[in-house]
Amino acid sequence: MSNVAPQKNQLKTLQIVRALASTSVVYFHIGSVPCFGGIGYLPCFGGFGVDIFFVLSGFVMAMIIATGQSASRFAISRVSRIVPLYWVLTTFVLILAAFKPELLNSTTANLLNYLRSILFVPYFKENGTLMPMLFVGWSLNYEMVFYVCVALSLIISPKRPIFVTAGLLLATYISFGYFAHSLVLNRFFGNELMYEFILGMLAFEVYNKGYFANVTTGVALAAGVVGYLVMAVADSNAFHINRLLSYGVPSFIVISSAVRLENAINSAPHVVVNLFIGAGDASYATYLSHPYVTEAVRKILVLKLHLFDINSPLGVAITVSITLMTGALIYRLIDKPLSQRCKALLEKLFALLRNRLAPFRYRTAEILTQ
């Protein structure tokens, strides 16, 4: 049995999972919980939202390339989706570092580091961490490696791109992670997170071939909830066998369970579903902006105006809500328009390039056929 691969926006459950992942990361980074020395008594978990994003990314990219998309169209869609907002916010951090350095912890107005950041080149920051200027952008460096592997696979083997992508990821992990004579490359590429993209592609294959089609709605829902709770318990208790097993495999279960619930979602209240889908649509903007939004809430609403206690459950709920709403505004007003304009521009540039190279391609073909 095989499902026809749907378009990304046809799987509402994927957007709901995005909303869950972004909310988890926001909660983790608020700092009210004991994750970063906060004095709150709420449990510390949520960092695994990044792992959910990675497995989800593997699923979505496999779903996209299953439609037969070309390498150039894939590259245009990925660059236009990721780059514009990331460049805007990274530039904002550079300006802050130059004129208001006291607002940042260790980031300095270093132009070389700025260029490395916007070009997705990993490097060690001033504090020794392997992060770009916009620190949450570390995950985008991995995403870009994955996208490059997918694009290459579409060129090398258009008929079996998923298997070739997995092979390229494994080769990259082994060669750069263990044999490159560079601490940056070893540390960056030798991360088990690379395997989570493969888990995501595997989750798509399981979905597309209908292996879980006979699983009941109740079992799928229970499996998804258990998968999330396993990650939450492991995170809050710092109980890690390794990241792949602690978070990667449970993320696979969460996503596989979620897509099995697609039909059940249609019978849920539309207002609730649309609320989660909206949060999922804005999840990228929320993810990139949330550290600065939560810090602004802390310094203005909490420390200056004393409106609420950010260490309380209510304070955390208010902060998460403000952060999600701000992410939604950034998505509507900045992220989405910029992405659309970037995509249109890149499509025009690629079309112009194809036209310019057309005579050369024809001449080369004639020579080869002589």
What phi and psi, each to the nearest 5 degrees, are found at residue 66? -70, -15
pLDDT band with cut points at 50, 70 and 90 for residue 175 = very high
pLDDT band with cut points at 50, 70 and 90 for residue 322 = very high
Per-residue pLDDT, 36: 61
For range 157-170, the mean pLDDT: 94
Q: What percent of the chain has pLDDT over 90?
A: 75
**pLDDT score of 7 more than 80:** no
Per-residue pLDDT, 275: 94
Cα–Cα distance list, 3 to 47, 68, 265, 290 (Å): 32, 15, 18, 36
Query: pLDDT tens digits for 44-94?
Result: 899 999 999 999 999 999 999 999 999 999 999 999 999 999 999 999 999
**pLDDT score of 6 more than 60:** no
Domain ranges for the chain, please list them.
8-359
Please work out, in degrees rounded to the nearest 5, the angle formed at the alpha carbon of residue 259 by the alpha carbons of 254 and 264. Answer: 110
Per-residue pLDDT, 8: 43
Query: pLDDT tens digits for 187-203?
Result: 999 999 999 999 999 99
- Mean model confidence pLDDT for the chain: 90
pLDDT band with cut points at 50, 70 and 90 for residue 288 = very high
Q: What is the DSSP string of 289-324?
A: HHHHHHHHIIIIIIIIT--S-TTSHHHHHHHHHHHH
**pLDDT score of 4 more than 80:** no
Q: What is the torsional sign of CA 176, 179, 181, 182?
A: positive
**pLDDT score of 3 more than 80:** no
Q: How far apart are CA 256 and CA 14, in angstroms?
A: 10
Query: pLDDT tens digits for 300-310?
Result: 999 999 999 88
Per-residue pLDDT, 106: 76
Q: What percent of the chain has pLDDT over 70?
A: 91
Residue 198: burial class (beta carbons within 10 Å; 0-12, 13-18, 19+):
buried
Lowest mean per-residue pLDDT among 51-55, 255-259, 271-275: 271-275
Q: How far apart are CA 36 and CA 25, in angstroms?
A: 13
289 Cβ contact partners less than 8 Å away, ≥ 6 residues apart: 89, 323, 326, 327, 330
**pTM, 2 dp:** 0.92
